[in-house]
A = this chain, B = another copy of it.
């Protein structure tokens, strides 16, 4: 059983709020939780920024194997205490999946060491293609035909200020000739990190079965499957060797 926490900002998105609620009346966290709940091996919880401790208390995290994180315009409001709690938990083995505008989140920037908010973008109802460049990777299991086509999504383009991915799984192209390293795998400490760029709030991207499949596959890839029971405290301190 994988214990998944689906977190979304869930704060008013100004001009996009109405459109988002039309597509996702239950919120983006609700939509993602819904298809994950159909996976027999997933135990799913949700949380939002408005919850106690912004939904990311140590207690909640301590019962989470995989955190799915969608944030947006309010990313600066996440308290450093929560950022640290999440990063610490990742270094101890919790998997994390950062979606779309969570590229700008303090959590992703802290785990990467770069200005991950930096990329170019445009909202123009454009078609996006996410090309598989790592066939055979568990994250693309069941995706046929070489790419995922999303009829309309926000365009994100390079230069995207991330460390070179340890494994690059998807490359995206947009109508205007932009490209993006759009599916990126990293390891940090004992934890695995997957960033996936699809999913602007004004399009029903998370209703698309192939996108759902990528998120499900990513849950099983990032989960702490190589850890023994003592994992939470392994990398906490320097260790003096016997003299």
A interface residues with partner B (beta carbon < 8 Å): 87, 91, 93, 104, 110-115, 117-124, 127, 129, 131-144, 146-147, 155, 157-161, 163-164, 166-168, 171-173, 175-179, 181, 186-192, 217, 224-228, 230-231, 234-243
A214 to chain B, nearest CB (A): 11
**Chain B: CB-nearest residue to A132:** B159
Known contacts A113-B111, A177-B173; A163 and B187 CB within 8 A of each other: yes
Can you list 17 A-B contacts (CB < 8 A)?
A120-B238, A127-B177, A132-B159, A135-B159, A135-B226, A135-B235, A136-B192, A136-B227, A141-B227, A142-B228, A144-B228, A157-B241, A158-B171, A159-B235, A161-B189, A163-B163, A172-B179
Copy number of this protein in the oligomer?
A: 4
Q: Given contacts A118-B236, A120-B238, A122-B241, list 16 more A-B pairs with CB under 8 A.
A: A115-B235, A119-B239, A120-B241, A124-B243, A127-B177, A129-B177, A133-B181, A134-B187, A135-B189, A135-B227, A144-B230, A166-B167, A167-B187, A173-B178, A175-B177, A178-B241
Q: Residue A158 contacts which of B133, B136, B160 (CB distance < 8 angstroms)?
A: B133
Known contacts A118-B238, A226-B139, A240-B120; A158 and B175 CB within 8 A of each other: no
Cβ contact within 8 Å between A191 and B129: no
